[in-house]
Structure 1
Amino acid sequence: MEKQKYKKRSCWSDRAEALLIELWQSKVSAFRGSKKNSHIVEEMAMELQQQGVHFTASEIKSKMHNLSQRYRKEKTAVGSTGGSPSQWPLYDKMRSVLLPYVSYNAESLEKFSKFY
């Protein structure tokens, strides 16, 4: 049998994550416009490379997905009342990136559902 080849996991530094989140926040409105966002992620990859952070567009997309998932889990753990603050250092940064999206903002969903 042929051995399956597994892709080596990307290791993101704190600096690389912070740069990605900053860049993501600056382009958040572009992500909201079109359904196909691969060109935006490609631009982000090029901009990160100019800053010395070398990841492919698919690695960036995967990291964005993972950060979004982690934010959802943390938001659920914190609760809608904001009871215990999150211990995740990136929580507030991710909140500022994802809060404009209705799907991440439970308060907006509740307000929106009252109209229908």
Structure 2
Amino acid sequence: MGWSEGAELAILELWADRVGELRGLRKNAHVYAEMAANLAELGYTHNARDVQVKLQNFSQRYRKETAEMGPSGGSPSTWVHYERMHQIIGGFKSNLHTELTLESIDDSSKASSSTASVPSPGTPLPSPSSPLPSPVPSTSASAGTNKKI
């Protein structure tokens, strides 16, 4: 059975009230069953599995819409439930992957630019205290001899 607009709005409100419970527990069957019972009280007949699938579909659609907008915000989503979904799950790290990745890249570039010491053009580079031996045998020292190295 499909979801009416009223049932979708109701499930979003129930989800907003229980998002903490659903994120904290591994086994959420009882929460989905209670949400289905709440929907039934409002006149919508959906079972616990319907509720679980609907929430998964909403989450997937939210992530898709967010990805299509891109990190700069792009054109806003035309999905009717996008703003409410953003209020419910938009602040969780699992839904902020792009933002966290860009923040991480930005932070690392700031850190590397502030900690790296680049000499100014007129500053001579430090010389090593003892030069490393060349991996290539010298031809001048062994010229005329047939030593195996």
Interval containing the TM-score (normalised by the shorter chain): 0.7 to 0.9
Counterpart contact for 1:102–1:109, Cα < 8 Å: no
- Alpha-carbon spacing, 1:112–1:49, altered in 2? closer, same or farther (3 Å): farther
- Cα distance in structure 1, aligned partners of 2:42 and 2:58: 21
**Greater RCO, CA 8 A, separation 6+:** 1
Query: Is structure 2 residue 16 aligned with structure 1 residue 25?
Result: yes
Structure 1: segments with no counterpart, 5+ residues? 1-9
Report which of the two structures shows the higher radius of gyration computed on alpha carbons. 2
TM superposition score normalised by structure 1: 0.82
Query: Is structure 2 residue 30 aligned with structure 1 residue 12?
Result: no
Q: CA deviation at 1:31?
A: 1.1
Q: CA deviation at 1:72?
A: 1.1
RMSD: 2.0
Match in the other structure for 1:75? 66
Match in the other structure for 1:104? 95
Q: CA deviation at 1:101?
A: 2.1
> When the two structures are aligned, how many residues end up with a matched partner?
106
Q: CA deviation at 1:65?
A: 0.8
Counterpart contact for 1:78–1:85, Cα < 8 Å: yes
Q: What's the % identity of the aligned pairs?
A: 37
Match in the other structure for 1:55? 46
Within-5 A mapping of 1:30-49: 30-49=21-40
Q: CA deviation at 1:100?
A: 3.0
Q: Where does structure 1 differ by over 2 angstroms across 4 or more consecutive aligned residues?
A: 106-114
Instruction: Letter of the 2:90 partner, please give it.
Output: L
